[in-house]
Structures are given as C-alpha cells and as structure tokens.
Structure 1
Amino acid sequence: MFDEITPRFKPILIGLFVASAAFLAGWFLGGQTITYPTEPPVALSGATEGQPEQVDFSIFWQTWAVIDDKFVNGTSTDALTQEDLQNRVYGAAAGLVDSLGDPYTVFLPPADNEAFAEDIRGDFGGVGMELGARDGQLKVITTLPDTPAERAGVRAGDAITQIDGKPVGKMTVDEAVKLIRGEIGTIVTLTINRSGEGAKDFAITRGRIQVPTMETELLPSGVFVLKLYSFNALSPQLFKQGLRQFIEAKTDKLIIDLRGNPGGYLEASVDVASWFLPEGKVVVKERRVAGEADKLYRSRGYNVFNDKLKLVILIDGGSASASEIVAGALSEHGRAVLIGEETFGKGSVQELVPLPDGSAVKITIAKWLTPEDHSISENGLKPAVEVKMTAEDREAERDPQLAAAVDYLLKQK
C-alpha cells in the first residue's frame, strides 16, 4: 500500500510513525511499576484517626505519593503550602461523599459551610432562586418574589446548563450556588434551557436577598388566600396570624398557596398541618435504613376548624420538601383538595454534621413518605385538579390556577 504513495508524502508518514513510536516509548517508560509507600506521610497529623479496619487505605496513600512524586503544576513551581495539602484532603473528602451518588449529600469546606449558614439565616447576596437536582439536571425550583432572578424572567422548571460560561455538568447544587453568589452589584450570566424554547443567556445583577414568608388577601368573591413562601423559623407564628385574619374575615373558603414554596424546616410543616388535623394523625413518615421502624410525625391537634371548612392547596413544580409534606398530609386525610401542577419531588431529609475545622457534611439521613406511604422523592404529588400555567398566562399576568381554585370553592356547599 505504501508503494502507491507519492514520494513527497513519505517523509511525513515516516515522521508520524517516528513521533508515535517516541510517544509510546515515553508512555511505557513512564508506566514502569514503582513501589510507593502505603502509609501516610509522617508530616500529616491525624492521618489514620477513625480509619475503618476493614478498608484498605493503601491505594489512597499511594495516590498521594504519586502526586508528590510526579505532579507538575502548569502555573507554578512553588513548594506546596500547608493550605495546598489541606485542600487535597478537602478534595478527597468531597470525592468520598460524591461516590454516594446523592446530589443532596455534599462535603462543605469551611468557606462553603459559612455560605450555607448565610443561606439558612435567610439574608444573603445572590439572585433569589431555589435550585434542585432533577433527572441529572440543575433545575430552578422557584424564584423569590421581587428578586433579580424573577425580574430577569427566570422561571420554575428552567434548567441551568452554564454559569458564567462554565458547564454545570455533574456540579452539585451547592457548587452551583457558590458560583451564582457573589458581590452585590456584580453580574452573573446563566445559560438556561427552557422547555420548548431552547437555550438562552440571562445576565442577572446580584442583589441582597431577603426571603419573604407570608402574604394574605381576601378576594372580592369571599375566598381568603394565604400565600406561604417558605417554612422557616418564623412560619408557624406568621401562619397562626394569617389564620386569625381568615377567621376574622368570616368566610369558610380558604386557599393555601404553596406554589413556588421550596420548603424549609420539618417542624414548621408539622405545625402548619396541625391546624387542620386531629391530635395524633400522621403528618409524615421518616424512613431511614431498611428494617428500621419509621419515625412518625403526628399532628399536635390544634384542629380549630370543623368540617364546614372548604380548603384548597395550590401546588406546582416549585412546591418542594415541607410544602409537599403539608399538601400530602392534608389531601390524604381528606382535609384539602390539591389544584395546580405536579410538585417537585424533594422528599429527603438532610442533617448538617459540623466537623472540628469549620467544615461540615450535609448528608441525607432519611426519606419522607406521606401518611399513605407515598414516596415524595420518587413521584412528587399530583393534583386532583390539574391546571397548567403557560408562558402566555405569565405574560398577560393571568393566574388560571388561582381562578380554578376560587371556582372550585364557590361551587362547594
């Protein structure tokens, strides 16, 4: 075959073959078996503390030694600092947690742990949206009212594919949040893939975010609407105040609007459900390891409303976690009718475990199930009356879901 090639091409082919041979020779030379130590370096403190006896850690320390022996940093030739070594440990811890394959279980180095604490306090810089992992994508659960994200046109259900040009890929929710946050007044560009519309860039100016909790309104029709934005530490007391306003309105028609409510504290959801259920009724089941009995969270029995109460709960794809607990409990006990769209399906329990150096592990410890054993994580909740909210509805500032809820209640006797 080579004889048919014109002479001027032969040197090129020969050169390619020589280069390939040299590359392979270099690889084989680099691939010689070298014995590396199977114990941690002497300079590392606490390296074997808490090490499980049945696990062979020699591969980990051999990998560490290979890095020490071989790795060349393309940007610096400086000697490794203590911070560099500690970052290796943090990276290994993150990889260990990532091996579980759970997007809600993450290792948080000290700086990330502090950012998470700011989130819990409810006053932070960002764009004002709640994120979640769904079907291998980073999805917007909801946008908070009057925030940069809402004003930019970001919607619940949007899939974020890039943050400032960086592909999301297998990024965890916490890693994405860290990139989206930044100094107030600066811009973050999100590439969003919206169903039916394709990809689009949203340039959003970061601002200070304060999470709202509740709004109430008595409609001209005589229907009282209680909009709950989150289940934070203030929710139980504010919800109680909202119910007092409902009673003073002298109507028997109530809408609890949980659309776009990403959840929050479990205890807050149990407290809210307790206003409508007799004492002892199951609000939610917490299931841990197989074979272990479920932990049941029961109504505290405030139950101030009789059977004459006509109650609708509005839900959508932004209703998650504690919202799904309340909606599931009240619908399955026959106290409320669900109207809207299928919920997000975030039914797992995370515990934040602090570590001595300021880092932490946020780890899934259980799954939530409704009183009738419905897995919230696997399926979400489906409304009894499905009503879609379209892009045209949003553009025209129409709310067909609220209208359907009002219509349903007015027809009840």
Structure 2
Amino acid sequence: MLKFYINIPVTPSQYYRTREASLVFVLTASETFAILRQMKRMLNKTFLMVAVAATCLLIAFGMGLAVGNYLGQNTPLAKNENGTSTLDLAPFWKTEEILKEKFISTTASSSIPTDQAKVWGAIEGFVASYGDPYTVFFPPKETKIFAEEVRGDFVGVGMELAIKEEVLTVVAPLKGTPAARAGIKSGDQILKIEQKLTNGMSVEDAVSLIRGPKGEVVNLTVKQNGDIKELAIVRDTITIPNIDTKLRDDGVFVISLYTFSANSPDLFRNALREFVLSGSDKLVLDLRGNPGGYLDAAVDMASWFLPLGKPVVIEDAGLNAPQKITRSTGYNVFTDELKMVVLINGGSASASEILAGALSEHDVAKLVGEKSFGKGSVQELVEITPETSLKVTVARWLTPKGHSISENGLEPEVKVTLTKEDVQKGKDPQMEKAAELLRDPNFKP
C-alpha cells in the first residue's frame, strides 16, 4: 500500500497516527498541488522531482484511493509498553479530528472539552465498554470524592448506591443521615437526580450529582415499593457510624454494625467485651443495612468465632490466578454454649455478606431476615496519575463452601419480612424472631 509521509504545515482532510507518531495523509488533488507549491519553495529541484513522481503514483492509483486508509486494516496503530496491544486507533483519531473541525455547541450543556478532558472521557468510555458497574475510571474530581468516602467524612445525603439490574439502586441509607430521615430505604431505585434521568448513569456520576455544599437541597425522584416519590433532601456533613450495643430485657445482647471501616475491629472487640461482661450467652449480630467495607475487618471479626485456619472467604480470580483462601486468625474465644443469630436484609452487602456467610456455613450462627444484596466482587484501586485512579474488579468472593455471593446473595435460613407498616409502628419482627429463636433452649445454628 502506498503511503505518502510528509512533514510540512498543511492540514489535510484526513490523517491517521502511526506507531512512530508520523502523520499519514489521504490527499485530494488540490491538497497535493498545494503541497507541491510549498515544497517548490522549500526544496531543491531534485527533491521536487521525487515529490512529483510520488504524486504521479497517486494519480495512477486514482484520486479516490484512500492512501494509507486505517494504515492497513491488519496493522495495529497502537502498542502498549509490552508491545502486546492490537488496538486500531485510526477510528479514534478520525473521530477526534472530525469533532475538532465540525462541532458547534448549540445548547447550554454542550461545550468543547479541553484536550485533557478528552483523554479522561476516552478512558472512561474504554473502561465502561467492559460492562462491569464496579470497574470505573476516576478523573481528578471523582478521585477526590472517593478518597473522602474512604475517610468516612464528607458532605452528602448518606446512602450507599450500586447498579442492580441496570438500575441505580440504594444499597442502604446510613443511620442518622439525611437520606435515612427522608425515608430512603434499601432497594429504593433512584430514577432522577435534579431532574436528570439516571438511565445508564454510573454510581460515581450519581454520587457527584448528589454531593454539593452543606445546607443545600438535592432533589431526587425515587421509586419505593412501586410508588414514585419526589424527595428534597438537605445535604449535610456525613460521618459514617460504626457500631451500637444493647442488652435487651430478655437477656439477648445486640451488636448493630453499620460499616466495616479501618477501626471497626477495635470497636467490635470492645462490643464483644461488653457482651461477655453482660453475662448473656445469646448474641444478635445485626448487619441489616450494612453496605460493607474493608475485607480485613470482616476477617478479623469472623476470627473471634472460628478456629485458626478455618476459611472465611475464597477469592476467585478465574483464569488469572489460583483461588486465594483467606483464613481465620483463630481468636475463637467462645465456647459451644454461645447462641448466635445474624440479621441480614437487602442492604447487607460485600463484607457483611462475607462475615454472615462464614458464620453460617461454619455452623456458628443462624441467618434471619431477608435475602442480602449480592455484591461479591473484589475491586483494586490503581493509581493512573497522581490525580486519577482506576477501580478495577479483579476477582469475586465465594463463601467457604464455594457459594457465589455476587450471583446469588445470601438467603436467610429463617425468612422474616420487615414491612413499611412495621417501621411506622416501631415494630421489628426480624429482631423479635431472632430473640425468640435464641430464647429456645434447643436452639442450634
């Protein structure tokens, strides 16, 4: 295939970038003669004859011939550092050039992006093509938001979001937050944010829209139990709660865990100390509405109830690596006299499901409540630049017996539904069922 490489300041109608970062032009007749006129001024007669010969070849093949079109369809235009990529980026560069030449902004929401914004947008689209809602590229703004969430102190409304069945869904509202006070529930679907439809919107984009200055209102359109609601929620500083404890009048001790943060293991240890000092042998671990967090925290908590070396969770990376089994560190301070129930619901996700699954499958606790959310994939955060990062799914979680959390969630052994009417009346049939089971002298997990 004939390629005509030039290095003079003429902008043709089409160009393609090669591995050597040269430009391959597809020339029209007028462009060819314009080039020759410039070359005549710049080059001596010998080089001009070479250029004319090249032009004659172009004419012989026909002016309609797309010289160097896509640089040969079987030739990759970009290779990574390892030289393993087979990406043909010619369509990308062609699109970029057409937009640069032709695009005109016609609405308030449209604009010509900076070159850097084009790069971030291209990466976001590339990552989105993998079809995994948990694999996401974070530009600088989103990277900052994610870091604030990890620290557990940010301005927003206080709810965990995820994409479930291609719909933006509430995993759980955090206790005591504006979202909880507004009546947001686990499983609610967010249809609009400030009148902007959430169809096809990523979790990160949704969070960015919901966030804003403290004290200002964000308007949400929410589908809850089939009803459409318009909610105006005032943003506030959100401090993620961790843990509560309570000794009920019937002798049942309750530990309510709201997240798995870096300091959750220490708080959980203190809660267990309270439980032991209470003299009770009946424990409810309430993981309802707990969207998860650090895996290490879940493993540490499971270790209080499991012998050394017992599997807590299996990390399955498919063909990329052998299965990795994370095992109990073996605190195992409780005897067989312990009676334990774990409460779960649709807001129990990720680390909550790992802990609940391990305690259930090792016959330490009975699961009561409703089916868990089913968020059982492993993400790794990789720095792309100092200001940007990539959250990429690298594996999926399996319970000790090989149950896929991501595909199925956890089914409670005793199913009890908590209705809207129960909440309005201040009733908690799930907690009451757990207490009833634990009071039974013949209780077995």
TM over 0.5: yes
AA paired with 1:87?
A
**Partner residue, 2:100:** 68
Q: CA deviation at 1:42?
A: 8.1
Contact 2:193-2:218 at 8 Å conserved across structures:
yes
Whether contact under 8 Å (1:157, 1:318) holds in the other structure is: yes
With a CA cutoff of 8 Å and minimum separation of 6, indicate the structure with the bigger relative contact order. Answer: 1
Structure-2 residue corresponding to 1:365? 394
Task: Indicate the SS of the match to 1:397.
Answer: coil
Q: 1:351 to 1:219 in 2, by over 3 A?
A: same
**Deviation by residue 1:188-243 (Cα, 9 ceiling, x = unmatched):** 011001123x2111100000000010000000100100011100001000000000
Aligned partner of 2:218 among 163, 188, 196: 188
Where does residue 129 of structure 1 map in the other structure? 159
Shift of 1:165: 0.2
Q: Is 1:260 matched up with 2:289?
A: yes
* Alignment match, 2:57: none
CA contact (8 A) 2:306 2:328 kept: yes
CA contact (8 A) 1:188 1:205 kept: yes
Gaps of 5+ in 1: 1-33
Partner of 2:5: none
> Shift of the alpha carbon at 1:84?
0.6
Instruction: State the superposition RMSD in angstroms.
Output: 2.0
After TM superposition, the structure 1 stretch with the greater mean CA deviation from structure 2, 34-43 or 384-393, is 34-43
CA distances 1:112-144 after superposition (whole Å, capped 9, x unpaired) = 101110010000000011111111111111111
Q: Distance in 1 between matches of 2:401 and 2:322?
A: 15
Q: Secondary structure at the match of 1:355?
A: strand
Deviation at 1:251, TM superposition (A): 1.1
Matched, 1:145 2:175: yes
Q: 2:192 aligns with which of 162, 167, 184?
A: 162
Aligned equivalent of 2:344: 315
| Partner SS state of residue 220, structure 1 | coil
Matched letter for residue 95 of structure 1: G
Q: Secondary structure at the match of 1:188?
A: strand
Give, in angstroms, the shift of residue 369 of structure 1.
0.3
Q: Residue 117 of structure 1 corresponds to which residue in structure 2? A: 147
The alpha-carbon deviation at position 36 of structure 1 amounts to 3.1
> Residues of 2 paired with 1:53 and 1:342: CA distance?
42
User: Counterpart of 1:199?
Assistant: 228
Contact conserved, 2:79 with 2:87, CA < 8 A, in 1? no
Q: Do 1:144 and 1:211's aligned partners in 2 also have CA atoms closer than 8 Å?
A: yes
How is 1:368-407 mapped onto 2 (pairs within 5 angstroms)? 368-407=397-436
1:11 corresponds in structure 2 to: none
User: What TM-score, normalized by structure 2, do the two folds share?
Assistant: 0.81
Q: Distance in 2 between the 1:296 and 1:113 partners?
A: 30
- What is the CA deviation profile of residues 44-70 of structure 1, one whole-angstrom value per residue up to 9, with x for unaligned ones? xxx976475422122211221122222
Partner of 1:28: none
Matching residue of 1:8: none
**How far apart are the structure 2 equivalents of 1:276 and 1:263?**
19
Distance 2:15 2:230 in 1: 48
Which residue identity is paired with 1:235? S
Distance in 2 (CA, whole Å) between partners of 1:164 and 1:272 is 40
TM-score normalised by length of structure 1: 0.87
Which amino acid in the other structure matches residue 327 of structure 1? A
Equivalent in the alignment of 2:41: none
Q: State the AA in 2 paired with 1:321.
A: S
| SS, match of residue 393 in structure 1 | helix
Q: Percent identity?
A: 50
- Partner Cα separation in structure 1 for residue 86 and residue 174 of structure 2: 48
> How far apart are residue 291 of structure 1 and its match?
6.6
Please tell me whether the aligned partners of residues 123 and 208 of structure 1 are also in contact (alpha carbons under 8 angstroms): yes
Which residue of 2 is the match for residue 171 of structure 1? Answer: 201
The answer to which of 242-251 and 357-366 deviates more is 357-366
1:38 aligns with 2:17: yes
User: C-alpha separation between the residues in 1 aligned to 2:22 and 2:146?
Assistant: 34
Q: Kindly indicate whether the alpha-carbon contact (under 8 Å) linking 2:79 and 2:86 is maintained by their aligned counterparts in 1.
A: no
Contact persistence 1:38–1:59 (CA under 8 A): no
Name the aligned partner's letter for residue 121 of structure 2.
G
CA 39–362 in structure 1, closer or farther in 2 if over 3 Å, else same: same
Code of the aligned partner of 1:108:
F
- Residues paired across the two proteins, number: 373
Secondary structure at 1:402 match in 2: helix
Aligned partners of 2:210, 2:160: CA distance in 1, in Å? 11
* SS of alignment partner, residue 56 of structure 1: coil
| Cα shift at 1:382 | 0.3
Cα offsets for 1:90-128 (capped at 9, x unmatched): 000000000000011111101110111001000000001
Measured in 2, the distance between the counterparts of 1:200 and 1:412 equals 46
Amino acid aligned to 1:403: E
Q: Which amino acid letter does the alignment assign opposite residue 344 of structure 1?
A: F
Residues 1:301 and 2:330 are matched in the alignment? yes
Kept in 1: contact 2:346–2:373 (CA 8 A): yes
Contact 1:141 1:318 in 2 (8 A): yes
Consecutive unaligned residues of structure 2, counting only runs of 5 or more, are: 1-12, 24-77
Equivalent of residue 209 in structure 1, options 238, 256, 262 = 238
What is the Cα deviation at residue 71 of structure 1?
A: 1.6
Q: What is the one-letter code of the residue matched to 2:100?
A: D
CA contact (8 A) 1:36 1:66 kept: no
Q: CA deviation at 1:39?
A: 4.3
The C-alpha deviation readout for 1:353-391, integer Å capped at 9, x for no partner, is 112241111111110000110000000000000000000
Partner residue of 1:95? 125
Deviates more, 1:130-139 or 1:317-326: 130-139
1:30 corresponds to which residue? none
CA distance in 1, matches of 2:18, 2:429: 65
